[in-house]
Amino acid sequence: MERITDDIFRITLPYKDIYTSVLLMQTRRGWALFDLATTEEDVTERIIPFLKEAEVPEEKLRYVFLSHTHRDHAGGLDAFLQRFPNVGVICGNKNLKEEKNLKKYLYPSDGELFMDSLQVFHVPGHTADSIVVLDIRTKTLITGDSLQLYGIFGSGKWAANIGFAAEHLAAVEKIRALGAERITAAHDFHPYGDFAEGKEAVEKYLDACGEALARVKTLIEENPALSDEEIAEAFSDGGALPKMGPRVPAAVRKAMEA
């Protein structure tokens, strides 16, 4: 268990050949989790022991925020709710309530404050349902996969993994305006990792998100005959950058056309 601030703690769990993060937040009105990793075993073998190590009373665990519904962030939801059926689920995917037959589901309004300390913002880009949580006490922003930078080195095509390019760039500027002084993300995003401390580091982190998509835009403009697959391959620069899937050039093309 890693302490991010006095009231925010983190563990990392294996996912394929990388890792994903789960965070725990304490407020004077109770506790909340951010994301639930991938599998039932992640919940039973890592997340529940995480709660015990942090000495979280079961009745004080009030919410789980899901950054989005990709498997490595929400895959543990079913197993978690079997153990903690009274915890409220906060997510930007309105369909999740019916899909999972959730009894305690909350679709947050943009900027909504929970437990007097944790403010939620919608930041579409990586996915349409991505959200972030800002701890207003310490200006710590928990971002999940919403800030991709240049992406993740690993076995997948995870470079700047953005499905909605224009929305993503708008979300980055929205995040910039929040004045966060610390960022903790879900994965080891190139080149600044999963953490930024201080205003200057936060600015560099946010800038890299736009730079990565600008690189894709330039490749498209300079190579109009190349397909999305070929643009994605050119992005990686022979392995100097993470591998990219064709969905990202497709999203950038759509934004350029608009």
**Is residue 79 one of the residues assigned to a domain?**
yes
Ordered per-residue pLDDT tens for the chain, 258 residues:
999 999 999 999 999 999 999 999 999 999 999 999 999 999 999 999 999 999 999 999 999 999 999 999 999 999 999 999 999 999 999 999 999 999 999 999 999 999 999 999 999 999 999 999 999 999 999 999 999 999 999 999 999 999 999 999 999 999 999 999 999 999 999 999 999 999 999 999 999 999 999 999 999 999 999 999 999 999 999 999 999 999 999 999 999 999
pTM: 0.97
Q: Taken in order 199, 109, 79, 31, is the CA torsion positive or negative?
A: positive
**Is residue 213 one of the residues assigned to a domain?**
no
- Could you tell me if 154 and 173 are in contact, meaning their C-beta atoms sit under 8 angstroms apart? no
pLDDT at 3: 97
What's the CA gap between 163 and 11, in Å, rounded?
27
Tell me how many domains the chain contains: 1
CA angle 168, 250, 92 (to 5 degrees): 35
Strand intervals (E) in the chain:
2-5, 8-15, 18-27, 30-34, 61-66, 88-91, 105-106, 112-114, 118-122, 131-135, 140-144, 182-189, 193-197
Question: The domain containing residue 91 runs over which residues?
Answer: 2-146
pLDDT at 224: 95
**Is residue 257 one of the residues assigned to a domain?**
no
**Is residue 31 one of the residues assigned to a domain?**
yes
User: For the domain that residue 95 is a member of, what is the CATH number?
Assistant: 3.60.15.10
**Is residue 127 one of the residues assigned to a domain?**
yes
- Could you tell me if 169 and 149 are in contact, meaning their C-beta atoms sit under 8 angstroms apart? no
